[in-house]
Amino acid sequence: MSRLQILPQPVIVTGSYPNPLPPTAGSVAITWTSIADQTDRYAAIIDLKTMIEAWNTDSVPHTITFTAVADSFNRLGSYTTSVPAGVIAPFGPFGLVGWGQTGPLQQTVLWIDVDSAKLVLANRTLP
């Protein structure tokens, strides 16, 4: 089975202090990705600008795993952690080194697996 892409969404920056502009209606809304098969997801990596947000919509904790690749020193370090019930947890920013897998169309992607479809994800791109 091929991996499901989590489409990127920009983080909206409305202006600098002390006079930030108010965000326009709907501009800060997050679209969450959920599928019945909780494994085999990926997000395109923009070096050090890709953030993943995981929202546990269940009443029990669930785990998320980010699969690493060997860096220039041949270090691997896949990262697995638990997201408590009802929590939105941010992860990243992810860099190309150590995380960049070769994905569809030879783009560089981050592989993500979760243990439940109730752990929904968003791919956020920092400015």
CATH 2.60.290, domain 4-13+29-125, yes or no: yes
Burial of 59-81, coded b for 16+ CB within 10 Å and e otherwise, reads eebbebebbbbeeeeeeeeeeee
CB atoms inside a 10 Å sphere around CB 102: 10
Distance of CA 20 to the CA centre of its chain: 27
- In the chain, what are the domain boundaries? 4-13+29-125
Q: What is the mean pLDDT of residues 53-75?
A: 89
Please indicate whether residue 93 or residue 2 has the higher confidence score (pLDDT): 93
29-45 pLDDT per residue, tens = 788 887 666 666 778 77
Which is nearest to 111 in space by CA: 65, 49, 74, 75? 65
Q: Is 0.85 surpassed by the pTM of this model? A: no
